[in-house]
Amino acid sequence: MALNLIMLGPPGAGKGTQAERFAKTKGIPKISTGDILREAVQTGTELGKRAKAIMERGELVSDEIVVGIVRERLDRADVKPGFILDGFPRTVPQARALDGIMAGRDPLIVLNIDVAEDELIRRLTTRFVCKNCGSNAAVGDAAATTAPCAKCGGPMVQRADDNAAVVVERLKTYRRDTKPLVEFYGSRPTYRSVNGAQAPNTVTAELEAAVAALCKATSGARA
Ligand code: AMP
């Protein structure tokens, strides 16, 4: 059975970090719409030109654009064993479109990482990421500003949208457009939420346990 995962949660909850770990341990691609859009902005493609100002304001790129990106990405052969979506869906219409894309495929497992807003603001405004590979430095690690990326040696930078004013806007966007997804998915038997205020390794362990239990229940139900 393919391992089709989505990672929900507010900005700064640790979705990217946890998705990266799943991708590695399960051998499935991590698909981050934020990474795809940032790359488009950096390389100056037509998509990047359309998305740049929106992202800088902390608002959402249109459903039509991101659904198109994901639809195309989920058509590739490397998602056969599964995938982990990070940062998508972010609105109810995107979630509905994803249900359409998933028709006839193995079920979606929906993982939510829950973190309080004051902690998110602290994390986002002190976050450093690698310019090359996107890896995060440890939160609050002052040396991260000068030390190269522990993973690839690239330079560590702050994301353009990780400044205080844009962070407030992104959290507002999350509350209005994305949080309703907790209700959209919450009653499905394949939904789990974990407390993301815990140490990253504890969050990983809880997410892995949730996925293992859900996979067991799903394959049991099919047997
Ligand atoms: P992220 O790296 O997931 O925090 O995404 C960075 C920015 O990219 C967001 O603030 C949005 O402007 C845009 N973005 C990423 N994913 C989506 C999505 N699924 N829908 C709309 N906009 C998105």
64-123 pLDDT, tens digit per residue, is 999 999 999 999 999 999 999 999 999 999 999 999 999 999 999 999 999 999 999 999
Question: Which entry of 15, 38, 52, 123 is annotated as an active-site residue?
Answer: 15
When divided into structural domains, the chain yields a total of 1
Q: What is the CATH number of the domain that holds 182?
A: 3.40.50.300
Which domain range does residue 193 map to?
A: 3-115+178-222
Instruction: Assign 151 a pLDDT band (cuts: 50, 70, 90).
Output: confident
Is residue 50 annotated as a catalytic residue, yes or no? Answer: no
Q: What mean pLDDT comes out for the span 12-25?
A: 95
Closest by alpha carbon to 134, among 37, 9, 7?
Answer: 37
Question: Per-residue pLDDT for 136 more than 60?
Answer: yes
Q: What is the pTM of this model?
A: 0.91
Question: Which entry of 151, 159, 188, 222 is annotated as an active-site residue?
Answer: 159
**The pLDDT value given to residue 223:** 46
Question: Which entry of 30, 52, 73, 170 is annotated as an active-site residue?
Answer: 170
Is residue 21 annotated as a catalytic residue, yes or no? Answer: no
Residue 159 forms part of a structural domain: no
Question: Rounded to 5 degrees, what angle do the CA atoms 129, 73, 61 make?
Answer: 60
Residue 17 forms part of a structural domain: yes
For 172-206, write each residue's pLDDT tens digit: 999 999 999 999 999 999 999 999 999 999 999 99
Q: Strand 129-130 relative to strand 82-86: parallel, antiparallel, unpaired? A: unpaired
CA of 199 to the centre of ligand 1 (A): 25
Is residue 30 annotated as a catalytic residue, yes or no? Answer: no
Is residue 175 annotated as a catalytic residue, yes or no? Answer: no
Q: What mean pLDDT comes out for the span 137-146?
A: 64
Residue 92 forms part of a structural domain: yes
CA of 207 to the centre of ligand 1 (A): 22
Residue 131 forms part of a structural domain: no
Residue 42 forms part of a structural domain: yes
Q: 95-132: b or e for each residue (b if 16 or more CB lie within 10 Å)?
A: bebbeeeeeeeebbbbbbbebeeeebbebbebbbbbee
Residue 146 forms part of a structural domain: no
Ligand 1 atom having least distance to the Cα of 33: 16
Residue 140 forms part of a structural domain: no
Residue 187 forms part of a structural domain: yes
Question: Per-residue pLDDT for 51 more than 60?
Answer: yes
The alpha-helical segments, DSSP class H, found in the chain are: 15-26, 33-43, 46-57, 63-73, 92-102, 117-125, 164-173, 180-186, 200-222
